[in-house]
């Protein structure tokens, strides 16, 4: 019976202050179990505790006799302890004394043994004390047959838990430090029994439409399921919850943005856009035309475009963005192209100027009437040149301005900034893009963000939820296939020589080759723009390849007689530019570099790429890098040289890259191999950030459904008056770290 002292707990109460048992006695809770859960997991309120969902469930019905055990496989059983003994032995490697505890238990009339190994006697003693005769426990671990006594089955170092009757699924919680799943369960259960107000964030009509449980039932079933069906139904409902909150936040953002004013840029007849159209050396692909139409329609609206353009390296994004820039120039505005590196900014400047021809020669003799000026601003420019460029930008003389971070400085003032194009979005932070957008002199410029790292649609919807997305999925005709091969030095050391022989063959055919290393010099602590490795695998073998060591070694050794150039991020900008120009002109046969060549670099005669210590690069990065070869109509070759052993995570990644050139497929694989947290940022995958059950990898359909529902909800009820619980959660999300994450869009 419920008395006034056991009245329920509210969702926002601190569960630590209301330990159910103590409350019945009319006193505040001690720090005990709840305190530990709060400290270790960082959960404070009842709501936070109850949205700390189990990660999995142990199926206690699965094995109910010793005969059902399978050697080498995990098993969970409910057993009764018969007795325990501790044996000492000497660790062969360290010579230290160690402790082995053997526990005999009963499982359906037969004996089942548990074996534990401990470094300290106190730990072993502790076990023996806990596993006293007659205690019923749940044990789960790997089953093995004893090597000497074949009849004897054992669980090796199993996980032990309190056994309870009536429930065949035991929830297992993520724990940390000195906290066990059992302790979490002990705190969750009483709270679950007396919580009174689980907030309902999904309107009834929407629940009905998608066949979703109500919130209170879902919370109860996720923590205390009677069977798998309940787990399934609860999970379905709670995933939708997570997706809906995020998508409503995005829908509100989009609505807000739709109210910001921007200058429509519709171009004009007979302007630079038309003139460029007439002299383009190729036709746009159908995909490019479709994307262009979307962009031009956006530019014509009185609200800022916020569009993400994704497409593989070489899919023709730059051409499309140039045409958008010309449209803005024709409307009397300016366009800025923000590039992540100096090398890339310079290259964009060269190639755009070349593509535009006399359309880029405003003010010069014989220039086209519609011509504009293309300015380049980088950090390393001499003061006088820099002043001149700043003036061209401020006066509006430069219709197209290309630059690096230098464009973001305060001194850079535009006459009328109408469009910001950000190349390779992932290299820029939120503040940086915001700084550039703020240069619109009171008016918000349109924004086009380009990325060559294909993003699966579900991620785009979750991470870039308030950007419209366009994708270029085909490569322009005439692109040659790239053959990618893994060169596993761990298994085939002799292949190393073969790699350099292959490089010589390419050069003998008149082609050029890239050699990419993860480091600049041998004593580098940090790599030059290399993504951190996805997992911390122990790395054996020689130190990582470094540009400054590899280049001379190749010149004196296997590539003697070839012209070898060097490029990395620590070189002076003029030196970098000179090297790139020499490579582009064919004056360098082999370019040894770091990943500075990753983005945008375009040398058609380069046909092969050797990636040293390829396991140090991420999937997307490898895919990007190899996109540098096979661009000029010659088939491309990419050799992924690695010391990683067959079967390792690193090799799996490399094999994946070798197996397909489909960037979208690789982006998905990349996602599958990463933990969810790496995709969304670690905080976002925790209880507080909102995404616990929802997987951006696997729950695309849920995300889509939630996105549609969110749009409808926000359309019909923009301030969410009818869904206060939802509104509260969205507000909490927007206030939290997630706000930053939403802004990354
Ligand atoms: P991205 O920026 O996506 O890497 P680019 O716009 O730089 O791609 O295009 C890569 C190369 O393909 C460039 O040399 C460009 O001139 C060429 N290109 C772009 N679109 C087409 C097309 N429709 N037909 C033929 N070549 C194209
Ligand atoms: Mg590009």
**Residue that the structure tokens 């969810």 belong to:** 676
CA distance 288 to 738: 34
Looking at the structure, do residues 276 and 425 belong to the same domain, yes or no?
A: yes
714-720 LR contacts (CB < 8 Å, sep 24+): 714/248, 714/251, 714/252, 714/255, 718/252, 718/255, 720/248
- Three-state DSSP state, 397: coil
pLDDT tier, 428 (very low <50, low <70, confident <90, very high otherwise): low
State residue 720's pLDDT score.
Answer: 93
Ligand lying nearest the CA atom of residue 599: 2
- Going from the Cα of 275 to the center of ligand 2, the distance in angstroms, rounded, reads 22
**3-state SS, one letter per residue, for 644-655:** CCCCCHHHHHHH
Report the percent of the chain where pLDDT is more than 90.
43
Nearest CA to ligand 1 atom 26: 476
- 212 φ/ψ angles, rounded to the nearest 5 degrees: -105, 145
What is the rounded distance in angstroms from the CA atom of residue 460 to the CA atom of residue 697?
A: 11
Q: What are the beta bridge partners of residue 103? A: 84, 114
Residues 495, 640 share a domain: yes
d(CA 420, ligand 1 centre) in Å? 20
Rounded-to-integer distance, Cα 180 and Cα 407, Å: 53
Confidence of residue 442 (pLDDT cuts 50, 70, 90): low
Per-residue confidence at 456, pLDDT binned at 50, 70, 90?
low
Secondary element (H or E) of residue 538: none
Does residue 323's CB lie within 6 angstroms of at least one atom of ligand 1?
no
Lowest mean pLDDT among 47-56, 369-378, 532-541, 570-579: 532-541
Instruction: Give the pLDDT band of residue 493 (cuts 50, 70, 90).
Output: confident
Does residue 453's CB lie within 6 angstroms of at least one atom of ligand 1? no
| 635 close to 480: Cβ distance less than 8 angstroms | yes
Q: Same domain, yes or no, for 328 and 418?
A: yes
What average pLDDT score do residues 120-134 get?
90
Is the residue at 222 inside a domain?
no
Final residue of a structural domain among 597, 630, 660: 660
Looking at the domain assignment, is residue 168 inside a domain? no
What pairs with residue 606 in β-bridges?
Answer: 512
- What radius of gyration do the chain's Cα atoms show? 31
Crossing angle between the packed helical segments 619-626 and 649-659, to the nearest 10 degrees = 40
Q: Which of 311, 316, 354 to mutate to test the pocket of ligand 1 (most atoms within 8 A of CB)?
A: 316
Residue with tokens 């006034």: 4
The first and second tokens of residue 621, run together, are 């990065």
Interatomic CA distance for residues 738 and 284, integer angstroms:
39
Q: Which of 464, 460, 408 is nearest to 436 (CA)?
A: 408
476 lines ligand 1 (CB under 6 A): yes
Instruction: State which ligand 1 atom lies nearest to the alpha carbon of 423.
Output: 2
Longest CA–CA span in the chain (Å) reads 101
> Are 36 and 65 in the same domain?
no
Question: 260 CA distance to ligand 2 centroid (A)?
Answer: 29
The Å distance, Cα 488 to ligand 2 centre, comes to: 31
Q: For residue range 138-168, what is the model confidence (pLDDT) as tens digits?
A: 888 888 998 888 889 999 888 887 776 667 7
Distance of CA 737 to the CA centre of its chain: 16
Predicted pLDDT of residue 738: 46
Residue whose Cα lies nearest atom 15 of ligand 1: it is 316
Final residue of a structural domain among 660, 690, 717: 660
Please indicate, yes or no, whether residues 43 and 114 belong to a single structural domain of this protein: no
Q: Report how far ligand 2's centroid is from the alpha carbon of 567 (Å).
A: 19
389 and 288 fall within a common domain: yes
Quick check: CB of 311 below 6 Å from ligand 1? yes
Tell me the angle at which helices 317-330 and 272-279 cross, rounded to the nearest 10 degrees: 140
Interatomic CA distance for residues 216 and 44, integer angstroms = 19
With respect to residue 292, please indicate whether it lies within any of the assigned structural domains.
Answer: yes
Residue 612: which CATH number?
Answer: 3.40.50.300
Measure 580 CA to ligand 2 centroid, in angstroms.
16
Strand partners, 519: 546
Residue 21: other Cβ atoms inside 10 A: 11
Which residue shows structure tokens 């020499």? Answer: 582
Is the same domain home to 183 and 323?
Answer: no
Is 318's C-beta closer than 6 angstroms to any atom of ligand 1? yes
Is 288's C-beta closer than 6 angstroms to any atom of ligand 1? yes
Residue 460 located in a structural domain: no
- Reply yes or no on whether the pLDDT at 745 is more than 50: no
More confident residue, 431 or 343: 343
Of 544, 533, 554, the closest CA to residue 642 belongs to 544
pLDDT of residue 359: 92
User: Quick one: average pLDDT of 721-728?
Assistant: 92
Number of domains making up the chain: 4
253 alpha-carbon distance from chain centroid: 22
What is the CB-side half-sphere exposure of residue 484 using CA atoms within 13 A? 23
∠ at Cα 486 (482, 491), nearest 5°? 165
Asked if pLDDT for residue 19 goes beyond 80, the answer is: no
Q: Does residue 493 share a domain with residue 589?
A: yes
What pLDDT shows up at residue 542?
Answer: 54
Stretch 557-581: mean pLDDT, rounded? 91
Q: For residues 494, 500, 501 and 507, what is the CA-based torsion angle, rounded to 10 degrees? A: 170
Q: Is residue 641 part of a domain?
A: yes
Helix (H) or strand (E) holding 690: none
Angle between helix 649-659 and 663-673 (nearest 10): 170
In degrees and rounded to multiples of 5, residue 715 shows phi and psi of: -65, -45
Same structural domain, 109 and 182: no
Q: Are residues 486 and 396 in the same domain?
A: no
**DSSP states along 604-667:** TTEEEEEETTGGGS-HHHHHHHHTTSS-SSSPEEEEEEE-PPTTSHHHHHHHHHHH---HHHHH
Q: Is residue 226 part of a domain?
A: no
Q: How many CB atoms lie within 10 A of CB 363?
A: 10
Point out the ligand 1 atom lying closest to the alpha carbon of residue 604. 14
- Ligand 1 neighbour 568 (Cβ under 6 A): no
- 357 in a structural domain: yes
Mutate which of 476, 599, 630, 631 to test ligand 1's pocket (most atoms within 8 Å of Cβ)? Answer: 476
Domain-terminating residue out of 660, 684, 702? 660
Confidence class for position 39, pLDDT limits 50, 70, 90 = confident
- Please tell me the distance between residue 578's alpha carbon and the centre of ligand 1 in angstroms: 24
Atom of ligand 1 minimally distant from the CA of 320: 6
C-alpha of residue 451 to centroid of ligand 2, in Å: 8
Flag whether 149 is in a domain.
yes
User: What CATH code is carried by the domain that includes residue 65?
Assistant: 2.40.50.140
Same domain, 511 and 652: yes
Residue 509: Cβ-neighbour burial (10 angstroms; 0-12, 13-18, 19+) = exposed
Establish whether residue 314 lines the binding site of ligand 1, counting it when its CB lies within 6 angstroms of any ligand atom: yes
Q: Phi and psi for 334 in degrees, rounded to 5?
A: -115, 155
| pLDDT tens sequence across 59-111 | 777 777 888 888 888 788 889 999 999 999 998 888 889 999 999 999 888 89
Q: Note the Cα 125 to chain centre separation in Å.
A: 45
Nearest CA to ligand 1 atom 6: 316
Atom of ligand 1 nearest to the CA of 478: 25
As a whole number, the mean pLDDT across the chain is 83
Q: Is the CB of 313 under 6 A from ligand 1?
A: yes
Q: What predicted TM-score, i.e. pTM, was given to this entire model?
A: 0.62
Q: Which pLDDT belongs to residue 444?
A: 86
Whole-number Å distance, alpha carbon 663 to ligand 2 midpoint, is 15
Domain region containing 28: 1-56+177-199
Q: Which residue has the tokens 């509260």?
A: 728
Which atom of ligand 1 lies at the shortest distance from residue 631's CA? 11
Q: Name, in order, each residue with C-beta under 8 angstroms of 440's C-beta and a sequence gap of 6 or more.
A: 414, 417, 418
Q: Are residues 586 and 493 in the same domain?
A: yes
Instruction: Tell me if 317 CB under 6 Å of ligand 1.
Output: yes
Instruction: Find, among 566, 555, 528, the residue nearest to 544 by Cα.
Output: 528
Residue 692 φ/ψ, nearest 5 degrees: -115, -50
Between the CA of 30 and the centroid of ligand 2 the distance, in Å, is: 61
């Amino acid at each position: 019976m419920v008395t006034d002292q056991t009245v329920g707990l509210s969702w926002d109460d601190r569960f630590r202050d209301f330990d159910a048992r103590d409350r019945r006695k009319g006193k505040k809770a001690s720090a005990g179990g709840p305190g530990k859960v709060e400290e270790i997991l960082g959960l404070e309120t009842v709501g936070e505790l109850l949205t700390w969902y189990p990660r999995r469930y142990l199926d206690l019905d699965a094995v109910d006799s010793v005969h059902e055990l399978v050697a080498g496989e995990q098993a969970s059983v409910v057993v009764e302890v018969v007795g325990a003994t501790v044996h000492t032995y000497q660790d062969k490697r360290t010579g230290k004394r160690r402790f082995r505890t053997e526990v005999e238990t009963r499982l359906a009339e037969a004996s089942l043994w548990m074996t534990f190994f401990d470094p300290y006697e106190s730990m072993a003693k502790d076990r023996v004390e806990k596993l006293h005769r007659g205690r019923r426990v749940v044990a789960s671990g790997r089953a093995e047959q004893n090597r000497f006594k074949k009849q004897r089955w054992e669980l090796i170092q199993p996980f032990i838990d309190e056994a309870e009757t009536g429930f065949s699924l035991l929830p297992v919680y993520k724990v940390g430090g000195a906290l066990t799943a059992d302790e979490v369960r002990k705190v969750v259960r009483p709270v679950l029994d007396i919580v009174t107000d689980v907030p309902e964030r999904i309107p009834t009509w929407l629940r009905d439409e998608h066949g979703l449980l109500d919130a209170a039932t879902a919370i109860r079933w996720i923590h205390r399921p009677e069977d798998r069906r309940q787990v399934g139904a609860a999970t379905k409902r709670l995933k939708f919850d997570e997706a809906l909150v995020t998508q409503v936040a995005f829908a509100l953002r989009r609505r807000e943005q739709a109210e910001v004013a921007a200058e429509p840029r519709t171009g004009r007849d007979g302007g630079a856009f038309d003139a460029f159209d007439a002299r383009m050396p190729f036709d746009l692909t159908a995909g490019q035309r479709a994307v262009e139409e979307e962009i031009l329609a956006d530019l014509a609206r009185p609200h800022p475009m916020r569009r993400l353009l994704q497409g593989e390296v070489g899919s023709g994004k730059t051409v499309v963005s140039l045409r958008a820039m010309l449209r803005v120039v024709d409307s009397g505005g300016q366009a800025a192209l923000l590039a992540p590196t100096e090398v890339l900014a310079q290259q964009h400047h060269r190639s755009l100027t070349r593509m535009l021809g006399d359309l880029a020669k405003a003010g010069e003799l014989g220039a086209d009437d519609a011509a504009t000026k293309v300015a380049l601003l980088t950090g390393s420019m001499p003061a006088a040149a820099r002043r001149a460029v700043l003036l061209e930008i401020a006066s509006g003389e430069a219709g197209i301005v290309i630059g690096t971070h230098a464009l973001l400085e305060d001194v850079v003032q535009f006459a009328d900034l109408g469009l910001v194009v950000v190349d390779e979005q992932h290299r820029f932070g939120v503040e940086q893009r915001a700084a550039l957008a703020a240069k619109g002199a009171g008016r918000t410029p349109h924004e086009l963000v380009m990325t060559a790292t294909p993003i699966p649609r579900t991620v785009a919807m979750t991470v870039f939820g308030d950007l419209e997305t366009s994708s270029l999925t085909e490569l322009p005709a005439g692109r040659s296939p790239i053959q990618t091969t893994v060169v596993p030095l761990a298994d085939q050391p002799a292949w190393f020589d073969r790699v350099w022989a292959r490089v010589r063959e390419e050069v003998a055919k008149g082609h050029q080759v890239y050699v990419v290393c993860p480091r600049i010099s041998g004593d580098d602590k940090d790599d030059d723009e290399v993504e951190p490795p996805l997992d911390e695998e122990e790395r054996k073998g020689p130190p990582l390849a470094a540009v400054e060591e590899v280049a001379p070694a190749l010149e004196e050794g296997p590539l003697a007689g070839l012209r070898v150039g060097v490029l990395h991020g620590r070189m002076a900008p003029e030196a970098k530019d000179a090297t790139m120009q020499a490579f582009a002109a064919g004056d360098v046969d082999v370019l040894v570099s770091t990943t500075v060549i990753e983005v945008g670099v375009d040398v058609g005669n380069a046909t092969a790429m050797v990636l040293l210590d390829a396991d140090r690069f991420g999937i997307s990065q490898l895919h990007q890098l190899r996109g540098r070869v096979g661009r000029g109509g010659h088939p491309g070759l990419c050799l992924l040289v690695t010391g990683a052993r067959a079967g390792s995570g690193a090799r799996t990644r490399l094999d994946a890259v070798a197996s397909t050139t489909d960037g979208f497929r690789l982006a998905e694989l990349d996602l599958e191999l990463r933990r969810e947290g790496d995709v969304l940022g670690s905080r976002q995958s925790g209880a507080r950030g909102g995404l616990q059950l929802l997987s951006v990898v696997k729950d695309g359909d849920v995300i889509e459904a939630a996105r549609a529902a969110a749009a409808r909800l926000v359309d019909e009820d923009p301030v969410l008056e009818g869904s206060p619980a939802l509104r509260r959660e969205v507000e909490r999300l927007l206030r939290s770290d997630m706000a930053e994450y939403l802004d990354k869009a």
